[in-house]
Structures are given as C-alpha cells and as structure tokens.
A = this chain, B = another copy of it.
C-alpha cells in the first residue's frame, strides 16, 4: 500500500497532465482553423458558419484576439448554462440522459462522502491497532483511515454495518428517484415530439413463406384481416447488403480520385503513377486519375445492375416488413400483442427510428437467432476468462530470440543493447494494448451476430458485455492478482463462502492502486477526451488532401457520438469502486467525486458542441444503467460481508445478510414499476396523441407521410425512391433530397442532426 506521499505525487502528476490537457484545449479550440473540430454540432444544425470567411489570411487560421485567451476557461460555465429542456431539444434525450449518469454519481456519492468523512474516518483513525501491528505487514497512513485499522473482532464494526445500511438506503432513494424522473422525461419526450414515422410503424419479422403470395401480398392480407380497422400500409425489406457494400467501396475510391485530382491541380506536370496490386506496392503501373475514373465507372455499372436485381428478384425480399397503421393506438396494439398461435412467426415489435435500424440483421430466422445467441454466450465466456491465452501465444511468438532464429538477418539490429531492451519491454504489452483497443469493436461484432435489429439495441448489448469484461478483468483482476482464468480456477476449487472472503480481504489493500487508476483513467482521460486529439488530426489531414468545397469540409468533420457501448461500462466501474470502498476505505470517495464532476462538465460540453448522435432511442438504455448500479451495490455488499467475516465479527456477517436480499428485491420493485415504460407504449398515451393529432391536422395524408420512411438507405436516391416507395397508386412530387450523407449507409446518418429536426427531414417526403 502506498503512503500518503506516494498518492500526493501521483495526484500531482495527474492533476498537472489534466490541467495541461485543459489548457491546450482552451487554446486550440479558439483557433478558427479548428472550429469545425470543436463545434461540429453547430455546423450540422446550420447555426454556425465558418469563421474563416472574414478577416485577413492570418486570422483565418490563428486567433489573434488576446481577450479570448483571457477568457479561456469560459467553456466551463457555458457548458452548464444550457437548461435541460433546451439540452434535450438541442442534443436529444439520449445525450441529455447520458450526462445525468454523471450527475447521478454526484448525487449518490457526495452525501455518502460527507457522511463517511464525518463518521467512518474518525472511527477508523482513532482505533490505533495498526500502529502496534505484530505481523509486520507493511501498513501505511492510508490504512489508518480504512477499516483495516480496527483490528479483529472490534465492536466498532457495528458503525460500519450501520453505515452500510445508510449508504444502501440512500442509494435506493437516489436510484428510485432518478428512475422516476427519467421515466417521466421519456414519456414527456415521446408525448411532446413531433410526428415520427416509427410512432405509427411496427417491425414484423419472420413472416412465414406462402406458396401463392409474395411477401408483400401476404403481409397486406394478414394485417388487413387481423387489424382490420387500423392497418394502413407496409414496406417490405430488401436484402441490399451487397449493394450497400458496393456503394461503400465506391465512396472510398472517390476519396482517392479527389486526392489525385487535387494533387494534379497543384502540380499539373507531374505524372501520377500508382500500382494496382495490394496496397499499391505491387502490380502494373497505371495513371492514377485514369485508373480511378474507370474503376468508379465500372462500380457504378455494377451498382445499377445490383440495384435492378434487388428490386426485380423475389429472393431479395426478406421475410420482414415495416407495417404502418392509421393511428398510434393501432400500432401500439400490434407491437404489444401476439399475432398467431405460433409465436415464432409474425413477430411484431416497435419499429426503431429509421436512422436506428440495423438493416443486415432483419432477416434472421427464429431458430438461427437462438443458436447464434448460444454461441455468442459461450464465446463471451471464453473471451472474458481466456482472452489472455491467444495474447500470451502472440507474445511468445513475438519473442526476440525466436525472431532472431527465424529472421537471422535482423540479428545485428536486435543484438544491439538499446533497441533490444526497448523492444523486450515493449513487445509483451503491445499485443494486449491492441486487443484492448479493439475490444469494444469485437464486442460490437458479437452483438451484431446475436441479431439485434437496432443500433441502440446493439450498443446496449455491447455495454452489458463490456461491463462483464471490465468487472472480471479490471476489477477482480486488480483485486485478486492473476489472470481471469486463474481466478476462475481458484474460485471453482474454493469453498463458496471463501470467495467473497478472499476478494473482500484484499479490497482494502488495493485502495491506493484504484486511487491512482481513477486519476489516470478518470481525471487525465476525461481531460484528454475534451481535446479530441484524433478527430483534430484526422480533420486536418482530410482538410489538406481531400477538401475542395464547403461540402467536402462538412464531410471531413467527424463529430463522433457518445459510443454508449464502450463509455457507459467504464462509468459503471466508478460506481462499483465508490460503492465497494464507501465503507471500507472512504478516502477513495473524493477522487471519484472529482471524476464525476469533471466528466459531467466535459460531456455536457461535448454533447452541446461536438457529438451528434446517430439515433434517438428515448433513453431506452436507462434500465440497463440502473440494473448495473444495482449489481454493483450487491457486489459491494457481498464483498463487505466477505471482508467482515475475516475480521472475527461473526454476528456482523449475519447482520449484513438482509442487505443483498433487500437490494435484489428493490431491483424487482423498480423493474415492475418503471421498466414497462421503456418497452411498451401505453394505450392511453397513444389515444391522447391520436386525438390531438387528428384535431391539429385533420387533412394529413398519413399514407403519403409514411411513404418511403423505411426504405433501405441505399435506395434513397430520386429515381429508386419512387420505384420502392410503399404505395404505387399515387405519384407525389418528391422534392429531390439534399441529404447526401443519408443516401449511402446508416453509419453515415450520424451526419444528420438528431430528433429535433426529424420533422424537417420527413416533410420532404410529403407532397409539395
């Protein structure tokens, strides 16, 4: 365990680096040249135009106004200034609720910290058993403030038990209150929103094959019969995955073409030669411009062919459809009910937002889904517990002596002392580092294989998987040293009541480590987040080589999004640490509070100025967030029981037993009370909205409004659009859509603004 001095030094370093990041950020963000990196959200909303149009050449790139440097920290109050309703309007409910997770952290931990420092710290400090410790273990000042200072069988443990109850009930109260507030926000958001196509639409999957009818006819007949008074129209789903990949490929080539055209424009004399083989290293030499032009032309032809094939081939129609109803009541009924006696066909659920649909997964049959989930569950188990095995293999292969043997010509380089030690110290870590960087991507791929149909659902599943990984490999891995597999092995061979004891016992000893972790990952990490180093560099590279017009520059912006799947589980680690250490070593709490405070500030700034969500799920992730905090609470209670049972405080263990039971019960109460609001849509609300809308807009042609809302994004260009739109009878004057970024793939849809402008988007589809 570290002394207070060590922690002070670590804190100093990390505070310095965090302040450093913040200072650099304060300077670079006010440079006009970086404006699109730090304020992309406003560009996308169309309320900010490039500051480079005015002034002289220098002021286009560098901010020479000294007064702005003096106010360099004014982004902080600005981030807090925007009131919540405006924030929801501006950034969407998902983002507004996401930053409330940090606020929730403050709400839970600030009172707990105050109480812990008022009660537990004095109690711990005054029981000076560690001073005359006989076993000679290296205890240090930090321990004087922790539960370890009490000594075996002390009566003072009852204070800690009492505080465990107080902390638990306080957490219950805050969690319950927050769940209630967010549920109200969600319902209010859904009720106040403008008309959206997904409010009238249900996604139907596993439509059974019919020998006499096409999928479209079958859907129409089925719903016209079974939802006689409510069925309006439907949109079949095409398997356009090949087409989407062609479009994607073309886009990549077009970027290269633009690059070479720019090169050519700068230096018309120079001949631009590239090689056609792998990565431009091998193969025939050709003229770059000519090569890309012909390739793109070919791809265009292929794309047209594929497009025709998809539309004309009945096999390209997947057994899924988006079915629309003439009222929200009708859609709510269809989404919540079972359609036929076989519950594996005609599966209905609320359609995700059009932007939120993950198209490739729409056609997976029921049995395959359950097999995929089984395989992914097994894979997740192995990934979590055995991920070290392949990495260790890679590391052993990458051993320098082996490399020397295989590639003897490298021997002179390797044998030199300098590089050798660097590489030897560097290689073992690199494989692990690469794995950890790619982990969220791997987990996301696994979620995709599981077959969820919406991007929001994929993110939520990824977050669950990532949390498991972090809990096992970061939390348990740090507390009980050794790889996850070793832990698993020792846990299996240990008696059931020994496991919490083993973990609980080492908890106080790891406090210093976690304090350092919080400072490095939490403080400095969050400060680095606001700097956006990677998008900053990428933007300037693109700006230099690809950008010719304002449009290009808009495409070069990468506003990014919250990445719920990879960021939320990391927040949960702080909740876990806070709850586990609240009773044991309260000294850790202030560090966590600083993290939550700083992160709240930074992320509120980011969602206002930077991030642009790809979709709006209406805070559907809250039950997951809530559930994981409750899980952390149960874990903290079990570990406390384990810790106390090693301290010869038998009764105390019994006195704590009701806590996990109460917590699990609390979870079920909250689940029953609030969760349905995130899954179902109440009929009363639907009826109110229907009545209001009919009164407000009695002449609305809903069929026209919904037409084309759920067409696969690759078909969203003028001509294809009409061919595929839901209803062939009418032929409305479609306004040519300007949404370039939406024409291609769903990934690109992040360039659209969030829900606030939905109405605008779809109004283009209505007759002009």
Chain A residues engaging chain B, CB cutoff 8 angstroms: 183, 187, 222, 225-229, 332-333, 336-341, 343-344, 366-367, 370, 374, 378, 491-499, 661, 665, 668-669, 672-677, 680-685, 687
Contacts and interface: CB of A to CB of B under 8 A. Distances in A.
Given A228-B687, A494-B495, 16 more contacts: A333-B337, A336-B337, A337-B337, A338-B676, A340-B682, A340-B684, A340-B685, A341-B684, A343-B674, A343-B676, A344-B672, A366-B673, A370-B672, A492-B496, A495-B496, A496-B499
A374 B336 contact: no
A366 B370 CA distance: 34
Contact of A225 (B222, B225, B497, B687): B687
A496 B337 CA distance: 43
B665 A374 contact: yes
Among A343, A498, A665: residue with most chain B CB under 10 A: A343
Contacts of A337: 332-333, 336-337, 680, 682-683
A339 B683 contact: yes
A644 to B, nearest CB: 16
A633 to B, nearest CB: 16
A115 to B, nearest CB: 27
A122 B374 CA distance: 37
Q: How many copies does the complex hold?
A: 2
Contact of A665 (B333, B370, B499, B683): B370
Given A332-B337, A378-B661, A495-B493, A343 B229 contact: no
Contacts of A187: 341
Contact of A341 (B226, B491, B496, B677): B677
A677 B366 CA distance: 16
A455 B677 CA distance: 30
A227 to B, nearest CB: 7
Contact of A226 (B378, B680, B683): B683
Among A491, A684, A687: residue with most chain B CB under 10 A: A684
Given A338-B676, A682-B338, A229 B226 contact: no
A670 to B, nearest CB: 10
B672 A338 contact: no
A675 B343 CA distance: 8
Nearest to A494: B495
Among A187, A673, A682: residue with most chain B CB under 10 A: A682
For the complex of A and B, 8 pairs with smallest distance between CB atoms: A343-B676, A338-B680, A374-B665, A336-B337, A340-B684, A495-B495, A492-B497, A338-B682
A339 B183 CA distance: 16
A226 B675 CA distance: 22
A330 to B, nearest CB: 10
Contact of A681 (B229, B338, B493): B338
A226 B672 contact: no
8 contacts: A225-B684, A338-B680, A341-B677, A343-B672, A343-B680, A366-B673, A492-B495, A492-B497
Contacts of A681: 338
Nearest to A369: B672
Contact of A366 (B225, B333, B499, B672): B672
Contacts of A492: 495-497
A494 B498 CA distance: 9
Contacts of A333: 333, 337
Nearest to A225: B687
A269 B668 CA distance: 68
Contacts of A665: 370, 374
